[in-house]
Amino acid sequence: MPDEKETTPQRCPLCLETKVVVSSHLIPKRMYDYCRPPGGNPISATTELVIETSRQVQDHLLCVDCEDLLNSGGEMWLLPLLARYEGSFPFYDLLAKLPADSTVDDVSVYLGGRNPEIHVERRPL
Ligand SMILES: [Zn+2]
């Protein structure tokens, strides 16, 4: 029998529409693999406990449309571009193809929307 959360419509906090919500990972599922050391599990910390665990924090939160939007519109594109243990950092390589838009001391700012290789959805404000 399905959990009540799986069948009762509630307000999706992203689109603000009342819909059935699906189980959403607080941290993208693929990030757990990214944070997992060889032979171990990610470290999970609360105010009372710090443990190594394979448990992935998730709850019924977003409607399927918003969940899909976050997955296909961001996570699936960005996660493979994160820094890797051996030292490569594909997303930085994309950023650095254009000069920084601003630099102060050792901090450089890149406007992702100016780089045609970065998938920034452009919407009017
Ligand atoms: Zn939604």
Nearest to 70 by CA among 14, 7, 6, 9: 14
The reported pTM is 0.68
Residues with Cβ < 8 Å from 73, sequence gap 6 or more? 119, 121
| Per-residue confidence (pLDDT) for residue 106, from 0 to 100 | 94
| Per-residue confidence (pLDDT) for residue 1, from 0 to 100 | 57
CA 121 – ligand 1 centroid, Å: 18
Q: Is residue 106 classed exposed, middle or buried when 0-12, 13-18 and 19+ CB atoms within 10 A define those classes?
A: exposed
Convert the pLDDT of each residue in 23-75 to its tens digit. 988 888 888 888 888 888 888 888 999 999 988 888 999 999 999 988 887 88
Every domain of the chain and the residues it spans: 1-81, 83-125
Percent pLDDT > 70 in the chain is 92
CA 36 – ligand 1 centroid, Å: 30
